[in-house]
Structure 1
């Protein structure tokens, strides 16, 4: 049954949002290459973080499904339907992020593994927020609200958090490793909440039994 869903799920993917986000992210990542003069590590760091946010904003639209209330009747559980969407987009997301890393000149490129951790946490936060919104509401297209939340959260983290509590440190900061331990914890927590949010609501599971 999941294999039979591949084609319809593929057709309902929000391609425009994903392509627009990928284009914006890659354009941001290419900014350091457009700079005249020696490579600037600060600009490379900013460009990759901006690209990660752009990719996350695109993934916020992944669960948009105008036919959501019709597909709930199919005999395939919600985690499988969401998992198919993620599986179809994951190679594209990995390709985009790898390209973004390579677009930044090596002398200006921050540690790739640590920035990949930040990008993964941002992406999972976007997907988790969208999954929570579809689980708790009747919204069929949570992308706009989710992307707005993600953008506001990123702006607040950058502008409002005290300097000693920020997650957005530079590689020369002695807190770099500690901060990325926090990023790893954030990724683990978001993943756990996201997996829970992808399950069928209790009421939805009980409704067929009650109707029978």
Structure 2
């Protein structure tokens, strides 16, 4: 297995959804730089909304990370799905961290919310997008579940502030007394999401090897017909 992983880096790198990731990254940076480019001086609540929107855009890009057009061909390979997914995340994670650092530098520092707390929110949204993609891969045969995950993530982002009780509010203003308590709850979310991702990572029992068996069966049928 140790020898297989380095050999996968090149092929996995080439199959990453760079268009979706690049588009989300470019749009996020453009929005972060907009106040400085226009000379605007947004209020703290406006900067908070802006950064939450940028974090959501980044998460929408990550929703495409597990899209794999060759999914049905890679099922029988020796390297299991969790490792292949972890490799995809590992290749993109440093770039995502640099992108978010650039966002923090571009937004007006005078009205920026606490960097650690807003970074936590962005990280949770990213992990939620990746977990949603893993669930879609586990429960469906779709090779490109990204669009469906994007729709689900957008729906969640819209409904969560409306349906969450006041005692469990996550999206609160930075001057709200509930800010610290809300981010204590934000810190719990990744643990739950990572567990769900871990459960959905492996291939379902009996699925591995099926393409090989179908191929061998087709060959035997072809020889019999001949």
TM-score (ref. length: structure 1) = 0.92
User: What is aligned with 2:63?
Assistant: 60
Q: Secondary structure at the match of 1:106?
A: coil
Aligned equivalents of 2:151, 2:202: Cα separation in 1? 24
Aligned equivalents of 1:187, 1:75: Cα separation in 2? 29
Aligned length: 210
Deviation of 1:168 (Å): 0.6
Residue pair 1:64, 1:142 contacting (<8 A) in 2 also? yes
Q: Secondary structure at the match of 2:170?
A: coil
Deviation of 1:36 (Å): 4.0
Choose which of 99, 114, 118 in structure 2 pairs with 1:115: 118
Residue pair 2:76, 2:210 contacting (<8 A) in 1 also? no
**2:93 paired with 1:90:** yes
Write the deviation string for residues 154-196 of structure 1: whole angstroms up to 9, x where unpaired.
0112344455543110111111011001111111111111122
Q: Secondary structure at the match of 1:94?
A: helix
**2:133 paired with 1:139:** no
Deviation of 1:105 (Å): 1.5
**2:172 paired with 1:169:** yes
Unaligned 5+ residue runs, structure 2? 215-226
1:39-58 pair list within 5 angstroms = 39-58=42-61
**2:183 paired with 1:180:** yes
User: What is aligned with 2:130?
Assistant: 127
Deviation of 1:207 (Å): 6.1
Deviation of 1:114 (Å): 0.4
Runs of 4+ residues over 3 Å off in structure 1? 34-39, 158-165, 205-208
Aligned equivalents of 1:58, 1:120: Cα separation in 2? 13
TM-score (ref. length: structure 2) = 0.86
Aligned equivalents of 1:37, 1:90: Cα separation in 2? 31
Residue pair 2:21, 2:62 contacting (<8 A) in 1 also? yes
**2:207 paired with 1:204:** yes
Q: Which has the larger radius of gyration?
A: 2
Unaligned 5+ residue runs, structure 1? none
